[in-house]
Chains A and B, each alone.
Chain A
């Protein structure tokens, strides 16, 4: 999708970050390089929303209180409302359904991630308003999600390609239909 075209649909929307973006931007080496990405979101009046499970992944490997505190402050400063299971009571159920489809289609074979399925479910539930920004493209397959736009960041250690994903209800309906047929035939 062209940049201008994408900006028309992302303007005033919510963007949830995958953990990899937080991890990459929370380093003094990369931090300034990621400013262009935050600038882009700011210029399009996008709201960054935090998601509980992403917060868990971001801080789970820390034990030192000051490390944890710095990361928590970072998260709170970046994002608005913290989305969690209270905001979407069906989240786990939806995530489980997505995992069934992944399993059926051989996606993340044997390594289906709870957090990725929950992120997928979040995109499904808030489909009209929310986009996911991630650096990991295999975890959000285009048979289910639309990769709307790619935003490259030229950093010292690497070229980071952030992609914006949106849940596609039509793709979901087709996949679900195929899956239900199998269920019925058993």
Chain B
């Protein structure tokens, strides 16, 4: 339960963070490319991890 709450909180924080980025520029022009690329990688890997967990949960629900 706590784990789920932490994930939701970090997603909410991420959303808040991207909403505050300079939206007139893209990752290629904002000037922090390497840092932003690493953050992007975490997002992609986070999505994969959560996707796996979700499928596992759904699989268990069907049993």
Instruction: Judge: A and B partners, yes or no.
Output: yes
Chain A residues engaging chain B, CB cutoff 8 angstroms = 26-28, 31-32, 35, 38-39, 41-42, 45-49, 64, 66-67, 69-74, 76-82
Chain B residues engaging chain A, CB cutoff 8 angstroms = 7, 11, 14-15, 18-19, 21, 23-29, 33, 36-37, 39-41, 43-48, 50-51, 54
Known A42-B27, A64-B54; further 18 A-B contacts with Cβ < 8 A: A26-B44, A28-B48, A31-B40, A38-B27, A42-B29, A48-B27, A64-B50, A64-B51, A67-B54, A70-B44, A70-B46, A70-B50, A72-B15, A74-B47, A76-B19, A76-B23, A77-B43, A80-B26
Q: Would you give the shortest CB distance from B13 to chain A, in whole angstroms?
A: 10
Interface of B is mostly: helix
Given contacts A42-B33, A79-B26, contact A27 B14 (CB under 8 A): no
Q: Would you give the shortest CB distance from A156 to chain B, in whole angstroms?
A: 15
Find out whether the CB atom of A67 lies under 8 angstroms from the CB atom of B50. Answer: yes
On chain A, the residues within 8 Å of B36 by CB distance are 77
